[in-house]
């Protein structure tokens, strides 16, 4: 009898979602357009609800109708992203005096979660662009901030983050791209792999080696497209994230002025990791949006598809499954928002929370989207249905921005090796 307790709770939740009671009551297919228990506006301030509303409206009107086309034709939607930038989405957590919106990490998470329901791939790129703009805003001097940030915030220019190399992914601190000082320029040699936006973007934030081995020898340089010696590999063919081009970025005796260095020599790795803390929240937020959209798609399908004489919504197993998906979605959302709050307040647990959030949320949300696809049956496998694109697009969120390292990071902090928590690890997470 005791076992029925949790089951009946799940059943009630499932019923709530499927409106089973209401279906019996009304005897027709009336349903809410917006499922209330996974409503992402709970707990938000009035202002945050406004931001979220704008982002949802933009996603529904400007992105969702084109999501499939951008994926199939591999279009980098420059005009749409510039429209988003006009609303302030180009530099959400960049300071207003250089053109940003000056919002908090939590505001940012809410916005990306909403935008992601329109197109995950494009939103993920926008988040990478935001991360780069923030790095320049935070670690650049005033001259650099004024030179780069306004154009980035308006998306007049686009940015890419260059850390990963063919030989260094998880082991990012072992990167090899060298930057030899010659007069008032650094001469760069080496290559970066898997760079989002590579070849189509204008500003590259590059982590390169100016000093000795390990993280302390790494500096951060801003390289502009068109600099002699900067070239790009072929456009990669990917399973998802097709609305953003991915290419290798190649440096051959590429001369970059010393005035393009962000922060001090040897500070580059620290800058990269700090950028990634926020980047992880952003990527996790994108996963949340995809999972939210997928739960709604699955719910709608269950209400329509009939087998064995009734709609799938009356099937108890599917009700339970949907309820589980909703629960995990809300749990993930809470973790991401807490991580965002911690980062904003520079709390001691911020870094580990960001890592945990990214690890947990990207996994759970992928499972949610995958389940949603399964619930569609054969239809879920067709490109006519959006759910498969959500699955393909968020699969990579479980890979990039670091993964297995998190168990390492968290287990180390559990043993109270606090120095390691502050990004001075020899092995570090990666883009």
Partner 1 sequence: MSGRVLVGVKRVIDYAVKIRVKPDNSGVVTDGVKHSMNPFCEIAVEEAVKLKEKKLIKEVVAVSCGPQQSQETIRTALAMGADRGIHVEVSGKDYETLGPLQVSKILAALAKKEDAQLIILGKQAIDDDCNQTGQMTAALLDWPQGTFASEVSMDGAQVKVVREIDGGLETIKINTPAVLTADLRLNTPRYATLPNIMKAKKKKIANVKPADLGVDLTSRLEVLRVDEPPQRQAGMKVETVEDLVEKLRDTGMV
Binding-site member from 87, 255, 296, 334 for partner 1 (CB under 8 A): 87
For residue 57, the minimal CB distance to partner 1 (Å) is 6
By CB under 8 A, which span of 84-92, 239-247, 291-299, 396-404 interacts with partner 1?
A: 84-92
Binding-site member from 7, 24, 30, 156 for partner 1 (CB under 8 A): 30
Count of residues interacting with partner 1 (CB under 8 A):
29
Q: Rounded to an integer, what distance in angstroms lies between the CA atom of residue 27 and that of residue 355?
A: 47
| Active site (annotated) includes residue 401 | yes
Q: Does 156 bind partner 1 (CB under 8 A)?
A: no
For residue 26, the minimal CB distance to partner 1 (Å) is 7
**What are the backbone dihedrals phi and psi of residue 3, each rounded to the nearest 5 degrees, phi first?**
-65, -20
Q: Determine which one of 62, 165, 364, 401 is catalytic.
A: 401
**What are the backbone dihedrals phi and psi of residue 255, each rounded to the nearest 5 degrees, phi first?**
-90, 120
- The DSSP call for residue 200 is T
**Per-residue exposure over 14-40, b if at least 16 CB sit within 10 Å of its own CB, e if not:** bbbbbbbebbeeeeeeebeeebeebeb
Q: Of 49 and 216, which has the nearer Cβ to partner 1?
A: 49
Q: Of 58 and 158, which has the nearer Cβ to partner 1?
A: 58
For residue 88, the minimal CB distance to partner 1 (Å) is 3
Q: Of 52 and 144, which has the nearer Cβ to partner 1?
A: 52
Q: Does 79 bind partner 1 (CB under 8 A)?
A: no
Strand pairing report for 246-257 and 185-196? antiparallel
Q: Rounded to an integer, what distance in angstroms lies between the CA atom of residue 291 and that of residue 369?
A: 5
For residue 87, the minimal CB distance to partner 1 (Å) is 5
**Per-residue exposure over 268-283, b if at least 16 CB sit within 10 Å of its own CB, e if not:** bbbbbbbbbbbbbbbb
What residues have CB less than 8 Å from 122, skipping those under 6 apart? 63, 67, 70, 77, 80, 81, 115, 243, 244
Binding-site member from 26, 259, 411, 418 for partner 1 (CB under 8 A): 26
What residues have CB less than 8 Å from 422, skipping those under 6 apart? 351
For residue 424, the minimal CB distance to partner 1 (Å) is 35
- Sketch the per residue contact string, 31 through 70, with partner 1: x for CB under 8 A, - otherwise: xxxx-x--x------xx-xxx-xx--xx------------
Are 160 and 200 a contacting pair, CB within 8 Å? no
Q: Does 304 bind partner 1 (CB under 8 A)?
A: no
For residue 411, the minimal CB distance to partner 1 (Å) is 39
Q: Rounded to an integer, what distance in angstroms lies between the CA atom of residue 92 and that of residue 132?
A: 11
By CB under 8 A, which span of 87-95, 118-126, 252-260, 315-323 interacts with partner 1?
A: 87-95
Q: Among residue numbers 96 through 155, which ones bind partner 1 (CB under 8 A)?
A: 96, 101-103
- The DSSP call for residue 154 is T
**What are the backbone dihedrals phi and psi of residue 251, each rounded to the nearest 5 degrees, phi first?**
-115, 125
Catalytic residues: 401
- In the complex, the residues that contact partner 1 under the rule CB under 8 A are 22, 25-26, 28, 30-34, 36, 39, 46-47, 49-51, 53-54, 57-58, 86-89, 92, 96, 101-103
């Amino acid at each position: 009898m005791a076992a029925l307790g949790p089951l009946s709770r799940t059943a009630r939740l499932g019923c709530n979602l499927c409106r089973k009671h209401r279906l019996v009551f009304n005897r027709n297919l009336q349903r809410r357009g917006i499922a209330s228990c996974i409503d992402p506006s709970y707990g938000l301030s009035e202002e945050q609800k406004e931001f979220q509303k704008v982002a949802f409206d933009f996603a529904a009107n400007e992105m969702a109708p084109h999501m499939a086309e951008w994926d199939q034709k591999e279009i980098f939607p420059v005009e749409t992203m510039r429209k988003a930038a006009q609303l302030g989405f180009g530099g959400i957590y960049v300071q207003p005096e250089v053109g940003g919106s000056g919002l908090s990490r939590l505001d940012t998470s809410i916005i990306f979660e909403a935008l992601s329901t329109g197109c995950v791939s494009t939103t993920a790129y926008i988040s990478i662009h935001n991360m780069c703009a923030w790095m320049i805003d935070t670690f650049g001097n005033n001259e650099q901030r004024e030179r780069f940030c306004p154009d980035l915030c308006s998306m007049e220019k686009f940015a890419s983050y260059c850390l990963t190399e063919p030989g260094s992914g998880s082991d990012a601190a072992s990167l090899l791209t060298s930057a030899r000082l010659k007069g008032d320029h650094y001469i760069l040699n080496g290559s970066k792999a898997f760079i989002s936006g590579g070849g189509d973007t204008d500003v590259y934030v590059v982590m390169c080696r100016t000093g000795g081995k390990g993280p302390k020898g790494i500096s951060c340089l801003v390289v502009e497209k068109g600099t002699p010696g900067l070239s790009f590999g072929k456009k990669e063919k990917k399973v998802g994230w097709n609305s953003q081009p991915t290419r290798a970025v190649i440096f051959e005796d590429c001369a970059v002025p010393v005035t393009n260095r962000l922060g001090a020599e040897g500070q580059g790795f620290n800058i990269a990791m700090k950028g990634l803390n926020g980047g992880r929240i952003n990527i996790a937020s994108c996963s949340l949006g995809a999972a939210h959209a997928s739960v709604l798609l699955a719910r709608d399908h269950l209400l329509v598809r009939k087998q064995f004489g009734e709609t799938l919504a009356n099937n108890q197993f599917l009700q339970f499954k949907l309820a589980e998906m909703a629960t995990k979605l809300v749990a993930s959302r809470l973790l991401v928002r807490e991580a965002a709050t911690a980062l904003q307040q520079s709390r001691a647990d911020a870094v580990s929370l960001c890592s945990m959030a990214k690890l947990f949320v990207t996994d759970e949300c992928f499972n949610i989207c995958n389940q949603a696809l399964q619930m569609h049956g054969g239809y879920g496998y067709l490109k006519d249905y959006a759910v498969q694109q959500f699955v393909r697009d968020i699969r990579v969120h479980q890979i990039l921005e670091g993964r297995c390292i998190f168990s390492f990071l968290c287990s180390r902090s559990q043993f109270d090796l606090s120095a390691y928590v502050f990004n001075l690890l020899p092995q570090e997470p990666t883009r």
